[in-house]
Amino acid sequence: MKMKYIINIAVAITFLLLIGNKLSAQDSRVLYFMKNNPYSTFANPAQNINCKLYVGIPFSSNINLSIFNSAIHYNKLIKVTASGKTVTVDNFIETLKRRNWLNLSFNIELLGFGYRVDDLFINVSHKIRLEGYFLYPDVLFKLPIKGNMAYLEKPAEFKHLSLNGTLYHELSLGFQYSINENLLIGVRPKLLMGLANVNTKKSYLKFTTDPETYDIAIQEKLLVNTSLIFNPENPNALDITSNLFKNNGFAIDLGASYDFNEYFGTSFSIVDLGFISWKTNTQNMASKVENRGIYYQNGGFLFSGINVENALNLMSNEDDFGGTLSNMQDTLLAYFPLYQTNKPYMTATYAKLLLSGYYNINKNNSLSLLFRGDIVSKTMLPSFTFAYSGSFFNFLDVYATYSIIGKTYANVGIGLGLRAGPIHMYLLTDNIIAAFAPLNSATMNVQMGMLVHITKNKNKKDSSDNKKKSKVDKKKTNKDNNELILETSNQ
């Protein structure tokens, strides 16, 4: 028996090592369905988990790496022909959507643990988190490649071009409480300490071309803030250590889950709802079209051709075409000045809304449906996940998911949880296809971890687990019920 467990663990680790380097990870949607994994409370603090006590292996309990790339795929960019490869720029542009994402996320828990006292479950966690979102419109590529003649009927507008990213560490304290046999609520306040940030506060560009005269009108507004804990022009260790705790913020996770009966239930959560106030080495870069002469009209830049008289004034001398061109370039760029200040600013963290419903086929198998919306800079990246959860042989949890993320449809996820006594290992991905075709996959993520996990006593009936099935006889004694058990109970 013991040998079997060892073989199982070895195979699982091999799998992790081989697959892990092919996949990269984000906050996995599969995690939401893992009711035997205490880390599912990070997706919903009111997640009904079977946990008495857990201690995360430091630096290895919850590692989460993810890339979401909705548009830049190999098969859209490269075409293999008999004579070689062709970069199919035109084809790539046709496949771009109005909004496209390139997101990167990395979380690692440094330290974490949790324990239950009757109906209250408390957990503590310290993590470093990196979240970056690059939202770009199709116009970003389409305009320079296809040209402004493709935007005669409707101007080219960059309304949703933004780069947002935050690196911070997070100290959280989670509380979960059973109100009654059906309802659980959870809350996790979090103290945030920012390390680096880039925030696109305002980003707008409108490029209009007159169909007859080709006059070009540009309106633009840009405001980008950045912050670092060190001065990039003069980095020093003293600076870094003194600034580690200066960019403070606060966030909160809220959640609730409700079981209608033994078969159906629903849950809702909002996580990472908060803000960080940035004060160290801040830079605010702002740009707006300004009136610098004849090319300014109606609040924007309007270029309708060179006035010959003005061109003569720009000529440095007759033979110096390069100098004249340079003068012209400087003249035009003067309409788009970039101003820099160093004011502190505040950013919101990237909140996520999660809403799900489940159906229990039996005590070991269930089906679920999850909606998740990532809120970034007044934009929501929606996703829908359909999941199967299964528990086998008291030690193996299997999850299979299908997700539609943004407008990408090829996301087949799997999750494995191995419970070898108190050791619990898990590996999840929202898109296993990415392991085999990484350059053509929109979602590439992996979440994994290892922890010591002690579940609730299976014979001990408490309000969070068994009230919907039967009432507990408090007078019934069993010396085993007073002991912690090593064998886990199924859901």
Hey, what are 121's tokens? Answer: 């479950």
Q: What is the β-pairing status of strands 443-454 and 53-56?
A: antiparallel
Residue whose CB is less far from another protein, 89 or 338: 89
Residue whose CB is less far from another protein, 78 or 252: 78
In the complex, minimum distance from the CB of residue 10 to another protein, in angstroms, rounded to a whole number = 11
Residues that bind another protein (CB under 8 A): 4, 8, 11-12, 14-15, 18-19, 22, 74, 78-79, 81, 83-91, 145-150, 209, 212-216, 303-309, 392-393, 396, 432, 435-437, 439
In the complex, minimum distance from the CB of residue 358 to another protein, in angstroms, rounded to a whole number = 24
Residue whose CB is less far from another protein, 176 or 445: 445
- Cβ contact 195:182 at 8 Å: no
Hey, what are 39's tokens? Answer: 């880390």
Mention every residue, 6+ apart, whose C-beta is less than 8 A from residue 120.
175, 176, 177
CA–CA separation, 100 and 115 (whole Å): 42
Residue in 17, 30, 12 with CA at minimum distance from that of residue 445: 30
CA–CA separation, 381 and 314 (whole Å): 49
Strand partners, 99: 137
Count CB neighbours of 459 within 10 A.
Answer: 14
Residue whose CB is less far from another protein, 42 or 151: 151
**In angstroms, how far is CA 5 from the centroid of its own chain?**
35
Dihedral of alpha carbons 38, 40, 45, 49, sign: negative
Q: What residue has token string 């740009």?
A: 287
What count of residues does the chain have? 491
- Cβ contact 465:50 at 8 Å: yes
CA–CA separation, 368 and 359 (whole Å): 6
Residue whose CB is less far from another protein, 140 or 171: 140
In the complex, minimum distance from the CB of residue 448 to another protein, in angstroms, rounded to a whole number = 15
Residue in 156, 243, 253 with CA at minimum distance from that of residue 208: 156
Residue whose CB is less far from another protein, 307 or 326: 307
User: What does DSSP assign to residue 338?
Assistant: E
In the complex, minimum distance from the CB of residue 138 to another protein, in angstroms, rounded to a whole number = 14
Residue whose CB is less far from another protein, 293 or 382: 293
In the complex, minimum distance from the CB of residue 377 to another protein, in angstroms, rounded to a whole number = 29
What backbone phi and psi angles, to 5 degrees, belong to 18? Answer: -80, -40
Residue whose CB is less far from another protein, 13 or 124: 13
Q: What residue has token string 């260790």?
A: 237
Residue whose CB is less far from another protein, 26 or 208: 208
Query: Please, how many CA atoms are within 13 Å of residue 301, restricted to the half-sphere of its CB?
Result: 22
